[in-house]
Amino acid sequence: MTPTIPNRSLGLLCAAGFLACSSGGSQGFTANDAGGLDASADTYVRPIDASMDRGSLFQDASADTLPLDCHPDPLNFDIPGNNCDDDNDGTVDNTPTCDTSLAITGDAFAFANAMGLCQTARSAIDTKWGVIVASYRRGYGDYAPDSGISNDQPPHEGQHGILDRFGASVVPREGVKLGVLSTGFAREFDGDSASSCAAADAGATGCFKPGRLMQSAEQTLRGVPSGFPKIVDTCSSIPKREVFDVIDVRLAIKVPKNARGFSFDFNFWTGEWPEYVCTPYNDGFVAMVESTNLYGGAATNVCFDSRGNPIGVNNAFFDRCTPNTRTGCAPGVGGTPGTSICAGGPGELEGTGFFNPGIWCNPGTLSSGGGATGWLRTAVPVEAGEVIKLDFVIWDTGDPTLDSTVLLDNFRWEAVTVTNQTQRPPR
């Protein structure tokens, strides 16, 4: 599927001057990995220029307060609960939802709707805020000259999905749908029509373990941001550089006039747990943001744990799994053995295909055969009225087996100053 841009053009986009465009449409980015450790055990806060405002996703004493006056403007988003028709649409405090009738195979604009982004804009100079461009891509970098493949080509259509739940207990964080990206099928049980992990079930392959090949058996050159896959400081293994089955949903969004940041919720899952923990084959997920209020516009990964490690099976948030289980036991791959804590337990895995009990590392003892982070929330500062580029990217590392998935939902604008941080949100 080619990128769908109703009533928009990439030419107008480039002429507006907010995306660096080439003959291919746009250029790649370089990751900036600087950061610092906050005193909070579960919050890693990226340093921001001293001239920038500081605050918190969860408002604290240093956060700005909402304005007492009311200035309706179509360039604003409607701030919930402030008794003002901020967006000048004739209704006070109406926060729209737009995901009730989305198809499971909807395009990238529908994916944005599923996350909670309900408004579109024609260009950077439109008289309202909104999503300008949305597309699914088979890699983050624009062009891989060694392969002759442009990464802005669409991935396998099964790698993205819009679902009303994931498993028995995981439901949308806002509205009635959530967006799903996967290195396998973006469905439960890693199949287009599977309802269990049984080999006899239609479309089942053993679920996300062992996974399935979705694109070419060849690696995706320049498929992920520069510097990824990244070494994790809790593991001694060096990650493989080859990546496979990459999918990226890329959004260009005009920021509301009254927004100072945005936040979104995500939940990362993988079939690598427990035997491939801390091995060179660990898959990854990043959210890359270009904003003038974040490192001067340099593309930066905004999702990380309390130690600054990117999201994956070795991330400190990864705790939906079986406790007190040996990990890293896969033979001959140079892994780092350990024992799981898994404070969140395996309950949320049921009905997803990531709950695939077996004797994976402990002789005579069953463990979940997959795991997840649970819902997390990332906040990002932005400049009012600018156009940001936002890429959600997930990939297989080292080979195309043992698939991983990310759920995305609850995108919302923040009217108060935020810092770039990832936290466990309130339930």
Cβ neighbors of 304 (< 8 A, separation 6 or more) are: 35, 44, 310, 311, 315, 422
pLDDT computed for residue 32 by the predictor: 34
Residue 220 pLDDT level (bands cut at 50, 70, 90): confident
Helix (H, G, I), strand (E, B) or coil at 158: helix
pLDDT computed for residue 2 by the predictor: 39
- Percent of residues, the chain, with pLDDT higher than 90: 68
pLDDT computed for residue 48 by the predictor: 36
* Rounded (10°) CA dihedral 91, 97, 103, 107: 90
pLDDT tens digit sequence for 389-421: 999 999 999 999 999 999 999 999 999 999 999
What is d(CA 63, CA 27) in angstroms, rounded to the nearest whole number? 35
Q: From 265, 248, 253, 264, select the one nearest 291 (Cα to Cα).
A: 253
- Tell whether the model's pLDDT for residue 42 goes beyond 60: no
Order of strands across the sheet that contains 243-254: 130-137, 243-254, 387-397, 284-290, 300-301
What is d(CA 248, CA 287) in angstroms, rounded to the nearest whole number? 9
Query: Which residue has better confidence, 204 or 3?
Result: 204
The reported pTM is 0.84
- Least confident interval from 44-48, 163-167, 415-419: 44-48
- Least confident interval from 53-57, 109-113, 275-279: 53-57
pLDDT computed for residue 145 by the predictor: 55
pLDDT computed for residue 148 by the predictor: 58
Residue range 231-255: average pLDDT? 94
- Least confident interval from 170-179, 307-316, 324-333, 355-364: 355-364
pLDDT tens digit sequence for 93-131: 988 889 999 999 999 999 999 999 999 999 999 999 999
Residue 69 pLDDT level (bands cut at 50, 70, 90): confident
pLDDT computed for residue 147 by the predictor: 56
* Rounded (10°) CA dihedral 177, 183, 187, 188: -120
Residue 13 pLDDT level (bands cut at 50, 70, 90): very low
- Tell whether the model's pLDDT for residue 286 goes beyond 60: yes
pLDDT tens digit sequence for 248-269: 999 999 999 999 999 999 999 9
- Burial code (b: 16+ CB inside 10 Å, e: under 16) for 91-102 equals eeeeeeebbeeb
pLDDT computed for residue 207 by the predictor: 83
Mean pLDDT for the chain overall = 84
- Percent of residues, the chain, with pLDDT higher than 70: 80
* Rounded (10°) CA dihedral 15, 16, 17, 22: -40
What is d(CA 215, CA 46) in angstroms, rounded to the nearest whole number? 35
Query: Which residue has better confidence, 179 or 64?
Result: 179
- Tell whether the model's pLDDT for residue 25 goes beyond 70: no
